[in-house]
């Protein structure tokens, strides 16, 4: 796991280019504190910041070259199948000088050319410079675990693991992209290929970009959908469970290959518990597990479930407490890791658990991806029950149920009011088409609220980009309605929210995170299962729970879904220091002079939230994060 950056300039590398790459590399030190390397020639500069995981020797230093020096690579991530790939390449006559997974990529490119990405099972983002053909290849892993951003013009391209490093190149214009702005205030994140700036793009997962003197092209090399053509969907629980157990075990095994200490995140949910169970069966010595709990909010506390798994498998378990004061103290470091607006509040506990975990280990396995692959979110239940609801008489639905429920107060921080909040979201989306329903249930800032938040001259630039993202993802041959939702979330929510959060927060602490559920083979297998295997009755992730029923404490199997969130809503209502900080940040730059928002709308939303008339915690947090970013060194000013 590392940080990469560099540039190609077909007008010739200048002294300015070299200075820029030096600054970019320095901005990525947190991603690779163990070593740094640089390669340059007439047209290219590649830089690397190393976090040593496999082959700790100098033989694995990067950028790494082919034997004849004609191909150079700067690589971020891990290739989990590098051992069998190496054996195949050695049989073809390739000679290796290191034990690293990086060198396999170079030899694979020499052997098969651009199709080499199809052979890689791993999490990765890399830049390969083919000096003989003056060609740069940028590539990103199938599910988007590792990020890669770039900015280019006719003659040059600059790339990096993080946006903050690209901003070290002052030649990149910091003009806000209004589509990126609209997308952030739709989803609380900005999906690829957009960024917050017009001149910076994100490479999409499962794509590679080729840049040469004739221009550029971007190719998609993988999708879940082709696997659907290989076999019909199955509803055979026994056979599906056995296949899943074997594949999860193998995906866990290959992610435990490491030359440095290794542990696991243990959240109290089923996904991380399955990972820890498999790790314990594959390893003789105790696993180190790490859990974060909220000291002041039992509604968010999963500690007893995490302890049950830790006791069952004899792990060395560490609990980290997150109090409001601790959350506030960590905000500076969390926000400094966020270089474009990103408002998933669970970034705070993710940063904190990464910080504590890094004190003991360099690599940690996690359960990321389980919800999106197997159906772990409540909105999937909504899709199951919407047909039943819509069969009720129109008068009964509109004049009785919706008339009453939609007028009730709600809150994420009180159990009964949280049920009301969820029911409201269900009711407001139930009568829509599936794609519109999915969009409505997913967004944090509904269109009407977003419309009222911005000044007229700003919202005139909005064009419905958020809905178009979901509509495009629904343009596929999948007939199963649950699988259609899962496909859209794997392509949007998973890489651009969940995995972005984990990458930024873990790498800011120089910690590598690996998740077996992000093995592309598991995604392909899961999409051969009917939706009814994943959602059955009121039970989420049914197939996963049945497959690993005998591996887990009984209390874990039927417990309700609980998000990994910070109780921001409660902090905004009851914590004076947080309310004071909120207004210092939100109104700090003189919100009227900034020219984006209607200040009176923000105050109205805050009052509604403070008086518990409406839970606006997600919206207020998004505004807070955006304003913090706007005033930071990564903002436009």
Q: Which of 127, 88, 123 is nearest to 104 (CA)?
A: 88
Q: What share of the chain in percent tops pLDDT 90?
A: 72
Give the confidence band of 394 by pLDDT, cuts at 50, 70, 90: confident
**What's the pLDDT at 50?**
80
Residue carrying structure tokens 């290191």? 98
Burial pattern 206-242, b for ≥16 Cβ within 10 A else e, equals bbbbbbeeeeeeeeebbebeebbeeeebeeebeebbe
**What's the pLDDT at 572?**
87
DSSP state letters, 525-573: HHTTB-HHHH-BTTBTTHHHHHHTGGGS-HHHHTPPP------HHHHHH
Q: What is the mean pLDDT of residues 205-209?
A: 98
**What's the pLDDT at 244?**
96
Give the confidence band of 589 by pLDDT, cuts at 50, 70, 90: low
Q: What is the mean pLDDT of residues 158-168?
A: 97
Q: Which of 294, 5, 277, 305 is nearest to 126 (CA)?
A: 5
pLDDT at 404 over 80: yes
**What's the pLDDT at 327?**
81
Q: What is the CATH number of domain 230-375+494-557?
A: 3.40.50.620
**What's the pLDDT at 229?**
52
Q: What is the mean pLDDT of residues 561-570?
A: 73
Which tens digits make up the pLDDT trace of 342-358? 999 999 999 999 999 99
2-222 classified as CATH 3.60.20.10? yes
Q: What is the DSSP-derived secondary structure letter of residue 116?
A: G
Q: What is the DSSP-derived secondary structure letter of residue 368?
A: T
Residue carrying structure tokens 């600054």? 23
Which residues does the annotation mark as catalytic?
A: 2
**What's the pLDDT at 138?**
98
Please state the three-class secondary structure of 466-493 as a single string: HHHHHHHHCCCCCCCHHHHHHHHHHHCH
Give the confidence band of 636 by pLDDT, cuts at 50, 70, 90: very high
Q: What is the mean pLDDT of residues 188-201?
A: 98
pLDDT at 564 over 70: no
**What's the pLDDT at 614?**
84
**In the numeric block, which tokens belong to residue 512?**
């590598």
Q: Residue 504 contacts by C-beta under 8 Å, 6 or more apart in sequence?
A: 162, 337, 338, 342, 347
The reply to whether omega before 294 is within 30° of 0 (cis) is no
Cα(270)–Cα(559) distance, rounded to whole angstroms? 9
Q: What is the mean pLDDT of residues 270-282?
A: 96
Cα(180)–Cα(187) distance, rounded to whole angstroms? 11
Instruction: Report whether 552 contacts 270 (CB < 8 A).
Output: yes
Cα(215)–Cα(152) distance, rounded to whole angstroms? 10
Give the confidence band of 65 by pLDDT, cuts at 50, 70, 90: very high
**What's the pLDDT at 1?**
62
Which tens digits make up the pLDDT trace of 18-53? 999 999 999 999 998 888 899 999 999 999 998 767
The reply to whether omega before 193 is within 30° of 0 (cis) is yes
Of 228 and 197, the structure prediction assigns the larger pLDDT to 197
Q: What is the mean pLDDT of residues 577-584?
A: 91
Residue carrying structure tokens 């000096």? 131
The highest-confidence range among 390-394, 415-419, 503-507, by mean pLDDT, is 503-507
**What's the pLDDT at 232?**
66
Of 617 and 299, the structure prediction assigns the larger pLDDT to 617
**What's the pLDDT at 340?**
97
Q: Give backbone dihedrals phi and psi of 233, rounded to 5 degrees, phi first.
A: -65, 145
Instruction: Report whether 617 contacts 609 (CB < 8 A).
Output: yes
Which secondary structure element, helix H or strand E, spans residue 26, and what is its range?
Answer: helix 15-27
Of 175 and 99, the structure prediction assigns the larger pLDDT to 175
- Beta strand ranges found along 593-635 (DSSP E): none
Q: What is the mean pLDDT of residues 479-483?
A: 93
| 3-class secondary structure, 146 | coil
Cα(119)–Cα(101) distance, rounded to whole angstroms? 13
Q: What share of the chain in percent tops pLDDT 70?
A: 95
**How many CA atoms, within 13 angstroms, populate the side-chain half-sphere of residue 37?**
20
Q: What is the mean pLDDT of residues 511-519?
A: 96
**What's the pLDDT at 60?**
72
Which tens digits make up the pLDDT trace of 527-545? 999 999 999 988 999 999 9
Q: What is the DSSP-derived secondary structure letter of residue 421?
A: H
Of 97 and 139, the structure prediction assigns the larger pLDDT to 139
**What's the pLDDT at 294?**
73
Which tens digits make up the pLDDT trace of 421-472? 888 888 888 899 999 999 999 998 888 889 899 999 999 999 999 999 999 9
| Residue 101 CA from chain centroid, whole number | 23
**What's the pLDDT at 561?**
66
Give the confidence band of 605 by pLDDT, cuts at 50, 70, 90: very high
Does the pTM exceed 0.85?
Answer: yes
pLDDT at 2 over 90: no
Q: What is the DSSP-derived secondary structure letter of residue 510?
A: T
Q: What is the mean pLDDT of residues 275-289?
A: 94
Give the confidence band of 502 by pLDDT, cuts at 50, 70, 90: very high
**What's the pLDDT at 328?**
82
Q: What average pLDDT does the chain have?
A: 91
Which secondary structure element, helix H or strand E, spans residue 521, and what is its range?
Answer: helix 520-526
Which tens digits make up the pLDDT trace of 283-300? 889 999 999 887 666 666
Q: What is the DSSP-derived secondary structure letter of residue 51?
A: -
**In the numeric block, which tokens belong to residue 274?**
């399955």
**What's the pLDDT at 484?**
95
**What's the pLDDT at 563?**
60
Domain ranges of the chain: 2-222, 230-375+494-557
Cα(623)–Cα(602) distance, rounded to whole angstroms? 8
Q: Residue 71 contacts by C-beta under 8 Å, 6 or more apart in sequence?
A: 65, 106, 109, 110, 128, 129, 130, 131, 132
């Amino acid at each position: 796991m590392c940080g990469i950056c560099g540039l190609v300039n077909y007008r010739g590398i200048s002294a300015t280019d070299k200075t820029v790459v030096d600054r970019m590399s320095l901005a990525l030190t947190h991603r690779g504190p163990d070593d740094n390397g640089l390669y340059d020639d007439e047209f290219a500069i590649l830089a690397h910041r190393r976090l040593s995981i496999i082959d700790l020797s100098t033989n694995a230093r990067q950028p790494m070259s082919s034997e004849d020096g004609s191909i150079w690579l700067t690589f971020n991530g891990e290739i989990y199948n590098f051992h069998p790939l190496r054996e195949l390449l050695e049989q073809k006559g390739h000679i290796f000088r290191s034990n690293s997974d990086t060198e396999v990529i170079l030899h694979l490119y020499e052997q098969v050319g651009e199709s080499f990405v199809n052979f890689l099972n791993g999490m990765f983002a890399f830049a390969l410079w083919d000096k003989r053909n003056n060609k740069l290849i940028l590539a990103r892993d199938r599910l988007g675990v590792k990020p890669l951003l770039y900015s280019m013009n006719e003659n040059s391209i600059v790339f990096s693991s993080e946006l903050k490093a690209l901003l070290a190149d002052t030649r990149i214009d910091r003009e806000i992209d209004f589509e990126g702005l609209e997308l952030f205030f739709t989803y609380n994140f900005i999906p690829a290929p957009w960024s917050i700036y017009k001149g910076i793009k994100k490479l999409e997962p499962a794509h590679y970009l080729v840049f040469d003197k004739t221009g550029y092209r971007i190719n998609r090399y993988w999708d879940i959908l082709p696997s659907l053509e290989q076999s019909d969907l199955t509803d055979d629980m026994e056979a599906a469970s056995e296949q899943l157990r074997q594949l999860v075990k193998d995906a866990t095994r290959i992610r435990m290959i490491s030359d440095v200490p290794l542990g696991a995140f243990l959240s109290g949910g089923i996904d991380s518990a399955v990972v820890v169970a498999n790790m314990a069966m594959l390893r003789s010595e105790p696993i180190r597990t790490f859990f974060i709990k909220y000291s002041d909010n039992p509604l968010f506390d999963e500690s007893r479930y995490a302890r049950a798994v830790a006791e069952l498998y004899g792990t060395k378990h560490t609990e980290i407490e997150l109090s409001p004061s601790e959350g506030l103290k960590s905000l500076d470091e969390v926000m400094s890791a966020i270089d474009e607006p990103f408002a998933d509040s669970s970034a705070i506990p993710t940063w904190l658990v990464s910080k504590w975990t890094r004190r003991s280990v360099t690599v940690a396995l996690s359960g990321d991806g389980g919800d999106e692959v197997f159906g772990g979110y409540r909105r999937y239940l909504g899709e199951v029950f919407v047909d039943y609801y819509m069969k009720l008489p129109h008068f009964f639905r509109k004049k009785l149920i919706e008339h009453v429920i939609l007028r009730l107060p709600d809150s994420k921080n009180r159990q009964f009011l949280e049920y009301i909040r969820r029911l409201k979201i269900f009711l407001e989306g139930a009568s829509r088409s599936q794609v519109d329903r999915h969009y409505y249930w997913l967004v944090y800032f509904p269109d009407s609220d977003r419309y009222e938040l911005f000044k007229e001259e700003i919202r005139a630039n909005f064009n419905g980009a958020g809905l178009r993202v979901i509509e495009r993802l629904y343009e596929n041959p999948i007939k199963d309605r649950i699988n259609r939702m899962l496909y859209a979330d794997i392509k949007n929510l998973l890489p651009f929210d969940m995995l972005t959060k984990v990458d930024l927060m873990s790498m800011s602490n120089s910690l590598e995170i690996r998740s077996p559920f992000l093995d592309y083979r598991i995604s392909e297998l899961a999409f051969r299962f009917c939706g009814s295997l994943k959602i059955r009755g009121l039970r989420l992730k049914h197939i996963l729970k049945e497959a690993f029923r005998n591996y887990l404490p009984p209390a874990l199997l039927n417990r309700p879904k609980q998000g990994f969130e910070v109780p921001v809503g409660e902090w905004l209502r009851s914590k004076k220091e947080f309310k004071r900080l909120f207004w210092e940040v939100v109104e700090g730059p003189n919100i009227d002079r900034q020219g984006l928002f209607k200040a009176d709308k923000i105050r109205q939303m805050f009052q509604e939230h403070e008086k518990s008339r409406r839970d606006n915690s997600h919206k207020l947090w998004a505004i807070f994060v955006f304003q913090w970013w706007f005033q930071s060194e990564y903002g436009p000013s």
